[in-house]
Amino acid sequence: MTDRPRVFVTRNLPGSALDLLRQTCEVAVWPDELPPPPGELRREAAPSSGLLTLLTDRIDDALLSAAPNLVAVSNMATGYDNVDVDAATRRLVLVSRTPGVLTETTADLAFGLLLAAARRIAEGDRYVRAGHWRTWGPEIMLGPDVHGATLGIIGLGRIGAAVARRAAGFAMRILYTSRTRKPDAEKDLDATHTDLDTLLRESDFVSVHAALTDDTRGLIGARQLGLMKPGAVLVNTARGPLVDQDALYEALRSGSIAGAALDVTDPEPLRADSPLLALDNVVITPHIASASVATRSEMARLAAENLLASLAGDVNDNVVNPEIAADWRAARPGRLAG
């Protein structure tokens, strides 16, 4: 018998995160590159006190009900739409996430995708490799200018603001929507608050940075795409289901918008027979916005720290259901930190 809590980590992690967990916990790690299938996840969760999960792991009520010892789930992501937080809250399981550490890296890729779609970088690469480059031509591979254009940011949180800072270097005009107005950001970033329809009508580039919730699923559908300028480009580095992908395909195919750049799709991975893959005016990357060596190590470290904190009943700012703290501690007095 051991009094070290058992934790299950659903994939191998970069950096020092696993060593950190091993200092105080019995650690089991899913060894494969692909996520544990639901049955395996349930089997591993059943004897565990804590789970360190990724956005590919579905943590739902069925999983939670099969894990009576579970007190904490630490999701290695800033988004946590893969976790049924209401179910976790009902079962007094603390859920945490890793905001902050991936902001700049994610914004780098969002801006890179914007440039790639506008200036046809991926398409140009395919063109060269296919042997189509026969001459310099005044009308070959033309696209819109990025500098001086209008960028609409949907969701001016940490990542949206970091994208706006990059846009400032390109002398872009910045519009934004957000659940609440951000007077400081308006001043610092010279950003103008608008409603969503106005943003869509006026922007040359639209970058999506909203969280995925029941309210935001399908936020950009056929009507919203129809409001965008014919030359506009949509960038999504947040979550695939924020955009109605069938409607996006139709807008791209018909040329009602000029292009899109997606780091996230619905579903993930994108199916090999997705009609999007036949279009030249969309750039798609495999959900890699936070994938720098340093940032993934930081995310893993923070997820490990969050898990250890939650196992000790220390409810920090990264916990998304802090309202259960008192009940959690009352139910598990032996776990109080300090």
Strands 191-193 and 205-208: unpaired
Say how far apart CA 170 and CA 88 lie, in whole Å.
44
Say how far apart CA 22 and CA 27 lie, in whole Å.
6
By CB under 6 A, is residue 107 in contact with ligand DGY?
no
Shortest approach of ligand DGY to residue 98 CB, angstroms?
Answer: 7
> Which 44-63 positions form the footprint of ligand DGY (CB under 6 A)?
55
Shortest approach of ligand DGY to residue 96 CB, angstroms?
Answer: 12
Closer residue to ligand DGY (CB): 70 or 303: 303
Closer residue to ligand DGY (CB): 80 or 328: 80
Q: Which of 10, 49, 78, 224 binds ligand DGY (CB under 6 A)?
A: 78
Closer residue to ligand DGY (CB): 47 or 240: 240
By CB under 6 A, is residue 102 in contact with ligand DGY?
yes
Q: Where are the alpha helices (DSSP H) in 169-260?
A: 183-189, 196-202, 222-227, 245-254
Say how far apart CA 57 and CA 302 lie, in whole Å.
18
Q: Phi then psi for 5, rounded to 5 degrees?
A: -65, 145
Q: With contacts defined by CB under 6 A, how many residues of the chain interact with ligand DGY?
A: 7
Say how far apart CA 303 and CA 211 lie, in whole Å.
19
Shortest approach of ligand DGY to residue 102 CB, angstroms?
Answer: 5
Catalytically annotated residue among 26, 40, 186, 268: 268
Strands 233-236 and 173-177: unpaired
Catalytically annotated residue among 11, 166, 287, 301: 287
> Which 279-298 positions form the footprint of ligand DGY (CB under 6 A)?
289-290
Catalytically annotated residue among 11, 209, 239, 296: 239
Closest CA to 304 of 21, 99, 8: 21
Shortest approach of ligand DGY to residue 283 CB, angstroms?
Answer: 17
Shortest approach of ligand DGY to residue 125 CB, angstroms?
Answer: 25
Helix (H, G, I), strand (E, B) or coil at 95: strand
Catalytic, 40? Answer no
Closer residue to ligand DGY (CB): 120 or 239: 239
Closer residue to ligand DGY (CB): 102 or 261: 102
Report whether 188 contacts 182 (CB < 8 A). Answer: no
By CB under 6 A, is residue 21 in contact with ligand DGY?
no
By CB under 6 A, is residue 77 in contact with ligand DGY?
yes
Report whether 145 contacts 172 (CB < 8 A). Answer: no
* Cα-Cα-Cα-Cα dihedral sign, residues 18, 23, 29, 35: negative
Helix (H, G, I), strand (E, B) or coil at 73: strand
Shortest approach of ligand DGY to residue 157 CB, angstroms?
Answer: 11
By CB under 6 A, is residue 318 in contact with ligand DGY?
no
Say how far apart CA 312 and CA 319 lie, in whole Å.
13
Of 77-85, 113-121, 138-146, 175-183, the segment contacting ligand DGY by CB under 6 A is: 77-85
By CB under 6 A, is residue 79 in contact with ligand DGY?
yes
Catalytic, 132? Answer no
Catalytic, 147? Answer no
Say how far apart CA 325 and CA 338 lie, in whole Å.
15
By CB under 6 A, is residue 10 in contact with ligand DGY?
no
Report whether 20 contacts 311 (CB < 8 A). Answer: no
Q: Measured between alpha carbons, how far is residue 296 from residues 79, 98, 129, 291 in Å?
A: 14, 11, 31, 6
> Which residues in this chain contact ligand DGY in the complex, by CB under 6 A?
55, 77-79, 102, 289-290
